């Protein structure tokens, strides 16, 4: 874009750098500065606008601090990605090098592309200043102790805050039933290391979180998929599986399930707990998205209905608050917690006390309450925009799940469509999604795709669905033609 026409008024009373930042922000919103594009060197822009270089640098710094741009050392300043992935920031891979996710990440980073492929929250909502105050406050209060080795179980104050948060959700656990971990991914990894040996069977929902599939596969587990419908895991399929296959674990995401967004029905929860208790199989509840409720209070964890033992509960601050801090927690029977703590100690000794203390402090602030409200409202509006534009743009024969919370939903295309093929076409249209096979415990989900809406603005969502609608219709026509002529048509080259 031509940035030389930005009007700056020296007498307006608003500092020049603020005027410039506002103008750049507007250019981003209107698509004249697309995602991933590089801002001009500050020296060049200053010269062409006739202002000091410092004015431009101040404007850029404000955009970076607000998450609207990002500074890459030695490379310049770039318009921040919206929602998608970034190369190098990938979900756990299925194999050592996962070509699928890496390709998605590269495509998501292309200028002008709208990505509904990643599961990242919107960093533009993060309030940096209040969190910095929390860091300063705990460093002033606890000093060097926060930089020293800390307890493997977790920082005392953070454990207290967690216990009180979980109680509010209906989960009454004592300190000795809690363990702080480095994100719920680590919680799941520790559980897998304790319970799974190569060849052991593990029940998973199908589809499910790709990071869990990657982990269980890496551990050499045999995956036993149980389908998910609009009411969550189809528990009826579970009972015979438990007696026949004697799995070591049942892994479930009962609240705002990833990738479908559905929530498990109360009757199924009750049945699931009964069946697993009778069979003596531990349930692992991944409640990563459980607090991201849009339409009502967050649902009760499954673990709340399970008495003191039986369910190993995983929570995280990554979805509602700051994923980069890698703070998660496990709530379970105290004997299980002691064993997980021993593995945690061997894995990485402990999670940084500084971040735990700062998070404990931040969670008690007004800024945190405001953030939670803003996040829920914002993602809820995006969910609405996505459901609405899917309704407008998708042709007949396409259906999708209707989440009441979380960050994603699943779209079902006619069974003869391959979303792997569709993806090439969609990228050509300028939109990226995650093909269903990435979330499938067994192949055969190639006609499904996942859309995430956490980090994408409503106008981008609408435009993204216009583009996806075009790609789907073209693919339906192409697929019909292929079925008719029996000949494959090559997708456009996309390296």
Binds a copy of itself by CB under 8 A, chosen from 4, 52, 148, 399: 148
* 278 forms part of the interface with a copy of itself (CB under 8 A): no
* 364 forms part of the interface with a copy of itself (CB under 8 A): no
Distance CA 362, CA 385 (A): 31
* Backbone torsions φ then ψ of 426, nearest 5 degrees: -65, -40
Binds a copy of itself by CB under 8 A, chosen from 42, 115, 208, 318: 318
* 380 forms part of the interface with a copy of itself (CB under 8 A): no
Contact 313, 125 (CB under 8 A): no
Q: Pick out residues in 111-140 that bind a copy of itself (CB under 8 A).
A: 120-121, 123-124, 126, 128, 131-132, 135-136, 139-140
Nearer to a copy of itself, 1 or 87 (CB): 87
* 29 forms part of the interface with a copy of itself (CB under 8 A): no
DSSP codes, 422-480:
HHHHHHHHTEE-EEGGGG-SSS--TTEEEEE-TTS-HHHHHHHHHHHHHHHHHHHHHHH
Distance CA 344, CA 182 (A): 10
Count CB-CB contacts under 10 A for residue 365.
16
Quote the least distance from Cβ 423 to a copy of itself, whole Å: 22
* 71 forms part of the interface with a copy of itself (CB under 8 A): yes
Binds a copy of itself by CB under 8 A, chosen from 257, 268, 269, 326: 326
Distance CA 194, CA 181 (A): 15
Quote the least distance from Cβ 276 to a copy of itself, whole Å: 24
DSSP codes, 359-383:
HHHHHTSHHHHHHHHHHHHHHHHHH
Q: Which residues pair with 434 in a beta bridge?
A: 450
* 372 forms part of the interface with a copy of itself (CB under 8 A): no
* 186 forms part of the interface with a copy of itself (CB under 8 A): yes
* 454 forms part of the interface with a copy of itself (CB under 8 A): no
Distance CA 384, CA 26 (A): 24
Q: How many residues bind a copy of itself (CB under 8 A)?
A: 80
* 292 forms part of the interface with a copy of itself (CB under 8 A): no
Binds a copy of itself by CB under 8 A, chosen from 99, 266, 324, 395: 324
What per-residue string of b and e applies to 422-456 under the rule 16 or more CB within 10 Å gives b? bbbbbbbbbbbbbbbbbbbbeeebbbbbbbbbbbb
* 471 forms part of the interface with a copy of itself (CB under 8 A): no
Quote the least distance from Cβ 274 to a copy of itself, whole Å: 30
* 96 forms part of the interface with a copy of itself (CB under 8 A): yes
- All residues at 6 or more sequence positions from 10 whose CB lies less than 8 Å from its CB, including other chains: 16
Binds a copy of itself by CB under 8 A, chosen from 153, 169, 448, 450: 153
Binds a copy of itself by CB under 8 A, chosen from 2, 97, 168, 296: 97
Choose the binding region for a copy of itself from 18-26, 41-49, 319-327, 375-383 (rule: CB under 8 A). 319-327
Choose the binding region for a copy of itself from 43-51, 148-156, 428-436, 456-464 (rule: CB under 8 A). 148-156
Distance CA 209, CA 105 (A): 17
Torsion on CA atoms 72, 75, 76, 77, rounded to nearest 10: -40
């Amino acid at each position: 874009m031509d940035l030389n026409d930005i009007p700056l008024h020296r007498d307006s009373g608003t500092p020049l750098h603020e005027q410039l930042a506002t103008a750049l922000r507007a250019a981003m919103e209107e698509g004249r500065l697309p995602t991933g594009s590089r801002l001009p060197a500050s020296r060049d822009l200053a010269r062409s606008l006739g202002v000091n270089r410092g004015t431009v640098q101040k404007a850029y710094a404000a955009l970076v601090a607000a998450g609207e741009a990002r500074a890459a050392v030695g490379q310049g300043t770039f318009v921040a990605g919206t929602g998608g992935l970034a190369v190098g920031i990938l979900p756990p891979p299925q194999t050592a090098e996962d070509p699928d996710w890496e390709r998605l990440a590269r495509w998501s980073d292309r200028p002008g592309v709208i990505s509904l492929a990643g599961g990242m929250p919107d960093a533009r909502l993060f309030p940096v200043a209040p969190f910095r105050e929390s860091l300063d406050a705990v460093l002033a209060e606890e000093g060097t102790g926060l930089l020293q080795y800390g307890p493997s179980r977790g920082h005392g104050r953070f454990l207290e805050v967690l216990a009180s948060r979980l109680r509010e959700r209906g989960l009454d656990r004592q300190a000795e039933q809690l363990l702080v971990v480095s994100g719920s991914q680590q919680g799941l990894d520790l559980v897998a290391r304790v319970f799974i040996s190569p060849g052991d069977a593990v029940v998973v929902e199908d589809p499910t979180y790709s990071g869990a599939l990657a982990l269980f596969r890496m551990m050499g587990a045999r995956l036993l998929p149980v389908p998910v419908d609009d009411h969550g895991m189809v528990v009826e399929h579970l009972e015979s599986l438990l007696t026949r296959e004697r799995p070591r674990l049942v892994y479930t995401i009962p609240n705002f399930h990833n990738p479908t967004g559905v929530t498990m029905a109360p009757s199924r929860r009750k049945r699931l707990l009964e069946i697993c208790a009778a069979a003596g199989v531990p349930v692992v509840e991944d409640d990563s998205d459980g607090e991201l409720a849009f339409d009502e209070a967050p649902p009760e964890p499954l673990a709340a209905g399970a008495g003191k033992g039986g369910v190993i509960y995983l929570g995280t601050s990554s979805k509602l608050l700051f994923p980069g801090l890698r703070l998660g927690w496990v709530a379970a029977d105290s004997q299980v917690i002691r064993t997980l703590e021993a593995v945690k100690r061997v894995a990485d000794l402990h999670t940084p006390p500084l971040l735990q203390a700062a998070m404990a402090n931040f969670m008690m602030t007004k800024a945190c309450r405001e953030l939670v409200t803003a996040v829920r409202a914002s993602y809820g509006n995006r969910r609405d925009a996505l459901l609405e534009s899917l309704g407008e743009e998708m042709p007949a024969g396409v259906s999708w799940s209707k989440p009441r919370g979380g960050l994603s939903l699943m779209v079902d295309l006619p069974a003869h469509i391959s979303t792997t093929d569709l993806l090439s076409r969609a990228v050509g249209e300028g939109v990226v999604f995650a093909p269903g096979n990435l979330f499938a415990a067994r192949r055969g989900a190639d006609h499904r795709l996942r859309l995430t809406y956490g980090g994408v603005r409503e106008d981008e969502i609408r435009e993204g669905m216009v583009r996806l609608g075009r790609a789907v219709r073209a693919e339906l026509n192409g697929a019909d033609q292929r079925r008719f002529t029996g000949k494959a048509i090559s997708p456009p080259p996309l390296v």
